[in-house]
């Protein structure tokens, strides 16, 4: 193959809008030779529709006599899920680790792998192997198994073994680790201030274990690591990708970029320039997940480079060879008539075994039956995220749904909710609220450490009624440390439906028998 005959889109893994293969989409895919496609919640409405979409996409490849697409999703479980039914979403990495059961981590991964393969996908962009040592890290948090290297390594390895045993391709992310940053790379370019020795001792071991397990794919980090490469973020760094990942650690599989449309990359240059630098640094497959115009810009830029840059052409050929070799292991998906897999039972078991009572000084948990005779207030931030990868096209289970379910058997429960980052008017409304009318208050924090106004509101409530308030950290457990004045505190390690069901059962027990919404 020469420079003129090679289509550089073979190195692209792209996203699109829509839930079916329309004539317009088919024509678009026929124009290019994309190596892969990624599906988001915007593409998925039901399990049956998901399967039909996946099979239809692969039919395009089959009709052209080509190898299957790498058909990917981000199915980490927890807050990063593409499941069309929240009841089918496994709790996330941190919740799984909190069970203390590596076999359960393996089981969760096998179930996820089986579901994705049944749907027709062959690549799962998981597990997250970042060690979340910084509690103020906005983009990782409970997506990580733990805040220490050993637990991330042990549970991450169990998880990827489960996926491997189903046949789904796994992808470890985000190399060399995004656990010690203070900015979200979806919005801006983070900088990791770790020393080289800290990266080697804390952040690399989970990836080293994954490589020993022959993980097929590793995703790059859109963060800068000045102690390793003072000039380039991970995705664009030949030191990080070639010298360390390839040569020092011996990884021979596919290196995937994180989404090249993210804010961190916009600070580094145009989509075309960054795509070129990423491939030259060592990336094999470029994720461009949302915008057709940017896909075409990158394609045009790289196609021009192919004609004049022989070193770049050689890099592309090396990448294409690795992609093609991996694709030869893939099978074509089958259509299903209906979907029925026992996902919810395992998800519920994980949620039940992961939830933790951190304090209960006044014996409010479970809530005594006599308290239910008077009004109870459920209040707190909405169960949603400010992190793009967690919310793309998705309507999560929310505190409103929790309240709706509870009112079926506990009619005295009221609701007062606010946004992740409420404005001053909301703060004043809460400050003027009459909390004396409630026998008990349940207040939910969602990453309060990242949102000062949310933190202030919760402090107001705890000041008014410390002895009759149960504090719940529905996402990062570090929120509990922000409110030492709370006499009762619970961590759920996630706000998916199964996590909140576990919370309701913990708090209300036999007093609540209805579904949670």
CATH number at residue 188: 3.20.20.300
Q: Label residue 227 by pLDDT band (50, 70, 90).
A: very high
Instruction: Assess whether 235 and 375 both reside in one domain.
Output: no
Of 108-112, 212-216, 281-285, 394-398, the range with the lowest mean pLDDT is 394-398
Average pLDDT over residues 472-490: 96
Which of 186, 299, 403, 512 does the annotation list as catalytic? Answer: 186
In a domain, 2, yes or no: no
**Which pLDDT value is given to residue 511?**
63
Q: Is the pLDDT of residue 113 over 90?
A: yes
Q: What is the pTM (predicted TM-score) of this model?
A: 0.95
Q: Is the peptide bond before 366 cis (omega within 30 degrees of 0)?
A: yes
In a domain, 66, yes or no: yes
Instruction: Assess whether 205 and 323 both reside in one domain.
Output: yes
In a domain, 346, yes or no: no
Instruction: Assess whether 362 and 478 both reside in one domain.
Output: yes
Instruction: Assess whether 127 and 198 both reside in one domain.
Output: yes
Q: Is the pLDDT of residue 14 over 60?
A: yes
Active site residue 258: yes
**Which pLDDT value is given to residue 1?**
67
Task: Provide CB contacts within 8 A for 31, sequence distance 6+.
Answer: none
Instruction: Assess whether 148 and 275 both reside in one domain.
Output: yes
Q: Label residue 386 by pLDDT band (50, 70, 90).
A: confident
> Strands, E, within 292-435: which ranges?
356-360, 376-381, 413-418
In a domain, 61, yes or no: yes
**Which pLDDT value is given to residue 4?**
72
Tell the burial category of 437 from Cβ atoms under 10 Å away from its Cβ (0-12, 13-18, 19+). Answer: exposed
Q: Is the pLDDT of residue 350 over 80?
A: yes
- 15-35 pLDDT, tens digit each: 999 999 999 999 999 999 999
Instruction: Assess whether 318 and 393 both reside in one domain.
Output: no
Q: What are phi and psi of 2, to 5 degrees?
A: -105, 180
**Which pLDDT value is given to residue 514?**
41
Residues 84 and 33 sit within 8 Å (Cβ to Cβ): no
Which of 74, 180, 258, 284 does the annotation list as catalytic? Answer: 258
Instruction: Compute the mean pLDDT over every residue in the chain, rounded to the nearest whole number.
Output: 94
Average pLDDT over residues 240-256: 98
The residues that bridge with 56 in the sheet, in sequence order, are: none
Residues 296 and 270 sit within 8 Å (Cβ to Cβ): no
Instruction: Assess whether 82 and 144 both reside in one domain.
Output: yes
From CA 383, how far away is CA 406, in angstroms rounded? 16
Q: Label residue 151 by pLDDT band (50, 70, 90).
A: very high
Instruction: Assess whether 254 and 395 both reside in one domain.
Output: no
**488 in helix, strand or coil?**
strand
Instruction: Assess whether 264 and 408 both reside in one domain.
Output: no
Q: What is the domain-level CATH number for residue 465?
A: 3.40.50.1700
**Which pLDDT value is given to residue 392?**
67
Q: Is the pLDDT of residue 187 over 50?
A: yes
In a domain, 179, yes or no: yes
* Cα distances (angstroms) measured from residue 69 to each of 12, 272, 494: 11, 23, 32
In a domain, 342, yes or no: no
Instruction: Assess whether 229 and 116 both reside in one domain.
Output: yes
Q: Label residue 503 by pLDDT band (50, 70, 90).
A: very high
In a domain, 288, yes or no: yes
Active site residue 290: no
- 286-325 pLDDT, tens digit each: 999 999 999 999 999 999 999 999 999 999 999 999 999 9
- 23-68 pLDDT, tens digit each: 999 999 999 999 999 999 999 999 999 999 999 999 999 999 999 9
Instruction: Assess whether 425 and 500 both reside in one domain.
Output: yes
**Residue 27 CB coordination number (10 Å):** 9
Q: Is the pLDDT of residue 395 over 80?
A: no
Tell the burial category of 154 from Cβ atoms under 10 Å away from its Cβ (0-12, 13-18, 19+). Answer: middle
In a domain, 345, yes or no: no
Q: Is the pLDDT of residue 390 over 80?
A: no
Looking at 327, 347, 374, which one is the last position of a domain?
A: 327
Domains of the chain: total: 2
Q: Label residue 408 by pLDDT band (50, 70, 90).
A: confident
**Which pLDDT value is given to residue 516?**
43
Domain that holds residue 373: 355-511
Q: Label residue 339 by pLDDT band (50, 70, 90).
A: confident
Instruction: Assess whether 206 and 269 both reside in one domain.
Output: yes
């Amino acid at each position: 193959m020469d420079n003129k005959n090679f289509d550089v889109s073979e190195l692209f893994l792209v996203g699109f809008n829509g839930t079916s293969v329309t004539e317009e989409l088919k024509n678009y895919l026929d124009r290019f030779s994309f190596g892969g496609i990624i599906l988001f919640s915007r593409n998925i409405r039901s399990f049956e529709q998901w399967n039909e979409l996946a099979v239809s996409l692969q039919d395009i490849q089959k009709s052209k006599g080509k190898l299957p697409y790498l058909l990917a999703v981000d199915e980490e479980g927890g807050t990063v899920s593409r499941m069309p039914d929240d009841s089918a979403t496994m709790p996330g990495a941190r919740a799984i680790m909190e069970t203390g059961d590596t076999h359960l981590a393996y089981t969760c991964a096998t179930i996820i792998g089986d579901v994705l393969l049944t749907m027709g996908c062959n690549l799962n962009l998981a597990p997250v192997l970042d060690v979340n040592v910084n509690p103020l890290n906005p983009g990782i948090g409970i997506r990580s198994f733990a805040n220490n290297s050993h637990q991330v390594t042990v549970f991450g390895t169990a998880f990827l073994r489960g996926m491997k045993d189903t046949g789904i391709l796994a992808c470890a992310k985000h190399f060399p680790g995004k656990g010690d940053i203070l900015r979200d790379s979806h919005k801006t370019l983070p900088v990791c201030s770790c020393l080289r020795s800290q990266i080697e001792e804390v952040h690399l071991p989970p990836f080293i274990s994954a490589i020993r397990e022959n993980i097929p794919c590793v995703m790059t980090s859109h963060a800068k690591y000045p102690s390793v490469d003072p000039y380039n973020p991970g995705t664009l760094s030949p030191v990080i990708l070639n010298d360390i990942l390839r040569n020092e650690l011996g990884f021979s599989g596919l290196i995937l970029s994180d989404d090249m449309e993210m804010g961190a990359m916009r600070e580094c240059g145009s989509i075309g320039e960054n795509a070129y630098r990423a491939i030259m640094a060592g990336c094999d497959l470029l994720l461009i997940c949302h915008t057709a115009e940017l896909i075409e810009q990158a394609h045009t830029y790289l196609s021009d480079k192919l004609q004049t840059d022989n070193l770049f052409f050689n890099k592309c050929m090396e990448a294409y060879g690795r992609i093609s070799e991996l694709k030869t292991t893939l099978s074509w998906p089958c259509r299903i008539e209906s979907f029925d897999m026992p996902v919810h039972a395992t998800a519920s078991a994980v949620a039940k075994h992961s939830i933790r009572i951190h304090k209960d000084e006044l014996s409010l948990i479970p809530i005594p039956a006599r308290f239910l005779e008077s009004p109870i207030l459920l209040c707190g931030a909405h169960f949603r995220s400010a992190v793009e990868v967690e919310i793309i096209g998705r309507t999560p289970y929310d505190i409103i749904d929790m309240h709706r379910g509870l009112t079926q058997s506990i009619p005295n429960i009221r609701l007062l909710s606010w946004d992740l980052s409420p404005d001053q008017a909301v703060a004043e409304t809460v400050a003027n609220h009459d909390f004396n009318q409630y026998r008990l208050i349940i207040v939910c924090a969602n990453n309060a450490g990242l949102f000062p106004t949310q933190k202030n509101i919760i402090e107001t409530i705890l000041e008014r009624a410390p002895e009759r308030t149960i504090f719940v950290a529905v996402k990062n457990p570090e929120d509990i440390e922000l409110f030492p004045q709370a006499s009762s505190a619970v961590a759920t390690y996630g706000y998916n439906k199964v996590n909140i069901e576990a919370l309701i059962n913990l708090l209300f027990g036999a007093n609540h028998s209805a579904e949670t919404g």
